[in-house]
A and B are shown apart, each in its own frame.
Chain A
């Protein structure tokens, strides 16, 4: 589903490499955790995969489509259709209700969403909150809304950047359960950037970025 080949990125302000020659592969329904020290380039790698940032070299292929060479507008369109994203800060639009936030990607793509919305609301335990304002939700609820939003349009790849970074332990567990189980049940590939070993342990595989290189992580 996802094939990253020899991707490199330098710092914006110097010629030093943030990472270089990173290659990874994630199959449909598989989950991969990316770990590493702060500033090692985890989020940058995720943004390169999402097409939000371009790499200096290498290629990103998602579902057979090489995205790294696409123009920005095409990358945007590809991302809208095939990728769901979850952020540490939830990035919900506070002027929209829960349901409007969740359905936003599907509505944008003009895809039917009612059936999937009901399923997601139920899975996330958000049925009774669907018309609430974002400001009325707890942190865990907000992240569940963000996950539902990432899944509403049936993406083939889900990218999550520190999805539990702002949550307490109990809430993290709940949110992680939702994220991993739903991704698997929907057959989507999941790439999670995290500091938390507990989250990484839930993934099928885990890697770490060290000295700009990707290494497998086995001792979780």
Chain B
């Protein structure tokens, strides 16, 4: 029976598909809005979480020095998660800056679990500099600016890459970070290349730790790091906002989902009633409905979540830029748990469905005839009003109790949530009544308006849920915005008053700040003491009238300054007084350096932005505690006797006197502080707007959809003779009235919310409060923007509502569809190409790369060595290995060299496949670093603990390769040549395009025999090779070596290439290559190499190479050489052979069948779906 009922519902859905689509659209809107906000929240919160600093640091013992040589040896011993950090203070633009040299290359190794902001250092590795926000402010630098440093050295200008990131763990907030090679080039006089420390990023087990300690030379020690992270008060406030936003949109989404589903049920009510009257069991109806709605929920939420993820991914760059530039918080999608976000959205849909189904279904299945009175809504309305009043009173009581009795942030948040819900309840209950009061004899003069108002009253009853979600979003927007505005105004006023001097100097030598005839220097002392046993910072305040006026009191005694000057009392900041329950006139015990004295609380002052407790005493109090008890603060106030028009002479004097002094005027200090303030709340404002848009859209759709009920009214009005235009205006006017009333009602609740946030949550969360101060303009902007948005959708929706062609909902659907399609079109307009070597993009410069010259053939063995003048080069080894059971193990080891405008960078890739596992890792280095070696006599290529050791003769073969994976086995490869080197192309010049613009030097050694040992003991993650827990596996097989260099291969026009090396069972070898050039025909080239080394170069007329299917990433290929009666089918040994590194490509073993059998390797680059499987 249930299936029959379900069939009826499906038919109903098919017949009324636009409503189903609209309902789905609402679900998708909620899902995408929620998921995108949650994703941004997660990423932003992760960014705000103190960055995961290094787990350990290796430093020198007292009297010893740690150097780059130590670093190189440790990396070669396998400590590849260590990064070298060097440091010195440098004077730049007359400011003292902490200049760091950091070896950022190890940070590119994606196998390291790098935390938080360390990832941002990757950018340093590309030859630019990174600067902290604070240092950038000091130097007045913006991203992209150039800088010459230090002042006394003539160095090329340095491009600044980032100017606004949080302080890195372990580095000061005043940091300019350079690649360590640049750093030592700059300070080349320091020949030993001393380091501050080697940071070790990864946690280690006790045994691993012991092993690491054993590796250290006697002069070094390993320390666990607990590097201090500055408290970020603004960050706390910001993260509080983020959590509030997530909660808000969750509630809004829940309302939207419930509303959408209950609307669908409302449309079904008649059908359900009919079915029930026909004798269909309630159970069957309920089951069928649940199945149908569940389907909608799953589809809607999944599509919504995917859309949300897509939007976030699409806009990730923009979001990241905003977060990093505005909020000093790097944004990384990798820190997000997409699964948990998706599951939360699904759960929300399920809850929404449960709420939506239970109540309306009971009404629909009501068998008792409605009484006349209830039909008219009299008794029902009265009962509902009583119930609403009771619930509202209970909620109000709960709010008051929570606010009065609780002192925790969580209780405050619960009270606020209840407050918003109470508002929602009151509004939805009051809205129909309010509208009904507008239907009075006065409005009878305008019959259409009269009808519209009367109709709006009924309409408002039916769109309660959607109105609630919009109301909540608007109240929250007004409340949060009101709180931020108030905080901003209070902070600005506080700064204006508190900064008593017109200028300040920051220095570590405050006593040496020069004074002049006109300028008096006011230093300040600080002591770390205890008040009633609670540790806090005690500072002194000069007792002059000028400083007295600078204090902004929340509370104070009448004789505050008399008692203060006499040293009988102190002043406390709000946060300390609140946290410790201290009030004015309380008697306290002040302890500094063992001296204790009773003190009276004379005043409680405002101290915004300071997370810590602070007390202020008269200078005499600190003096009495003894000279050793106090330290001078690093800020010195400058008080001119006469007003100063030009500070430049004093700044010059200051610069000549102190090397580290930093001068700043009061206004500059205020400007910087307020700029940081404004930047902090940009994102939360954005998220508020998203919540508002989502809720407004849902509300507008609901109104438009529900206006279907007006159809008979419209018909009647039309029959009376009222024209469609007038009716349309009347319908629109009722939308206006509903939206306007909800918007207006949200204002007082929003202001109330702001007040509660300031007076309760702020106190419990931060310990301070400030006056409510909402900008009317901003208030109007928020309410007005939401209102206009609502009306826009409503207007579009009713455009056809009075026509005979389409009901109102269809237009809303069309609008929604257009929005989605246009969004996708914008997304799809991007070029669908994956960049090759995308991690090494570089700005164009005047640097000229050497190009391939056909006249100069390859000259071996000299050409085994690197060719630094060329842009790109690789030494490339591939081998299909087999164990004793003849199972295949494709292995690849490649060393790449990149020339970036003259700067050489090396990257090595190692990949080993077993039947069950795949290990892939990458290493980076550059010449000059102690863990990189490139030598020719004998041949040696070494990065970290990966080594390619060739023969004494300078030949790369015979060779011994040692490749220990960081998280995998140790691979030792012995390679013996069994045939000659083979030049590709003509004399080793390989032409790769028809116009010969793409060309390289290229030779191979296809005749290599490999013997490999794979040891499992170095596996850090517990994985083993194959299924048996063996410690060593022996493998053998053929190997193929390529060495290629060029400056004419990678360009904007090259989409990618497909490369094959094939070992035929008869001993012959084939190299096949296809270059895919944008908007040009593919170019195919190859080489057939007989077992005796005789080669036959092949062009595209002599050889065909084509994908066997139309898959986006072609893994099956057809290769034919007609002149040799050769036709091969090439298929991968394993489907999943992606190498997921700095750039991603497909590389792995292949089986060869057809006229000849064999095996080989395949490399596919530049495919747009190359991230699949990564």
Contact = CB atoms under 8 A, between A and B. Distances in A.
9 contacts: A73-B725, A91-B712, A91-B716, A93-B455, A93-B716, A95-B455, A96-B450, A105-B720, A135-B377
Contact of B454 (A52, A77, A95, A105): A95
B185 interface: no
A95 B435 CA distance: 12
A83 B722 CA distance: 12
A96 B456 CA distance: 11
B713 interface: yes
B721 A77 contact: yes
A76 B717 CA distance: 10
B457 to A, nearest CB: 6
Given A95-B451, A108-B448, A76 B721 contact: yes
Contacts of B372: 135-136
Interface string A105-123: 1011000000000000000
Contacts, number: 78
Interface string B327-346: 00000000000000000000
B444 A80 contact: no
Given A87-B716, A91-B712, A91-B719, 9 more contacts: A73-B725, A93-B451, A93-B455, A94-B458, A95-B458, A96-B451, A104-B720, A105-B721, A108-B447
A149 B457 CA distance: 23
Nearest to A89: B712
Contacts of B720: 79-80, 85, 104-105, 108, 149
A28 interface: no
Contacts of B718: 52, 76
A107 B445 contact: yes
A133 interface: yes
Contacts of A89: 712
Interface residues of B, number: 27
Interface of B: 372, 375-377, 444-445, 447-448, 450-451, 454-455, 457-458, 712-713, 715-725
A72 B376 CA distance: 36
A53 B712 CA distance: 17
A92 interface: yes
A81 interface: yes
A50 interface: yes
Nearest to B441: A100
Contacts of B448: 108
A71 B448 CA distance: 22
Contacts of B713: 93, 95
B9 to A, nearest CB: 26
Contacts of B375: 135-136
A100 B444 contact: yes
Nearest to A135: B376
Contact of B722 (A76, A94, A100, A136): A76
A71 to B, nearest CB: 10
Contacts of B712: 89, 91
Contact of B721 (A80, A94, A96, A135): A80
A93 B456 CA distance: 12
A78 B723 CA distance: 10
A76 B722 CA distance: 6
A87 B455 contact: no
A149 B721 CA distance: 13
Give the top 7 A-B pairs by smallest Cβ distance, nearest first. A80-B721, A79-B721, A95-B454, A76-B723, A107-B447, A135-B376, A91-B716
Contacts of B376: 133, 135-136
Contacts of B458: 94-95
Contacts of A105: 720-721
Contacts of A79: 719-721
Interface string A168-204: 0000000000000000000000000000000000000
Contacts of B723: 72-73, 76-77
Contacts of A94: 458
B476 to A, nearest CB: 32
A162 B161 CA distance: 81
A94 B377 CA distance: 12
A80 B445 contact: no
Contacts of A83: 721
Nearest to A47: B719
A76 B726 CA distance: 11
Nearest to B452: A95
Nearest to A81: B721
Interface in A37-78: 50, 52, 72-73, 76-78
A32 B138 CA distance: 95
A103 B372 CA distance: 25
Contacts of A72: 723-724
Nearest to A74: B723
A73 B455 CA distance: 24
Contacts of B377: 133, 135
B721 A100 contact: no
Contacts of A76: 718, 721-724
A96 B719 contact: no
Contacts of A103: 444, 447
Contacts of B715: 91
Given A93-B455, A96-B451, A87 B719 contact: yes
Contact of B447 (A81, A85, A104, A133): A104
A108 B722 contact: yes
Contact of A50 (B445, B457, B719): B719
A54 B264 CA distance: 35
B723 to A, nearest CB: 4
Contacts of B445: 107
B719 A52 contact: yes
Contacts of A107: 444-445, 447, 450
B940 to A, nearest CB: 86
A100 B450 contact: yes
Contacts of A133: 376-377
B290 to A, nearest CB: 32
A80 B457 contact: no
B721 A78 contact: yes
Contacts of A91: 712, 715-716, 719
Contacts of B721: 76-81, 83, 105, 108
B451 A104 contact: yes
A144 to B, nearest CB: 16
A51 B454 CA distance: 27
A149 B715 CA distance: 15
Nearest to B719: A85
A44 to B, nearest CB: 14
Contacts of B722: 76, 80, 108
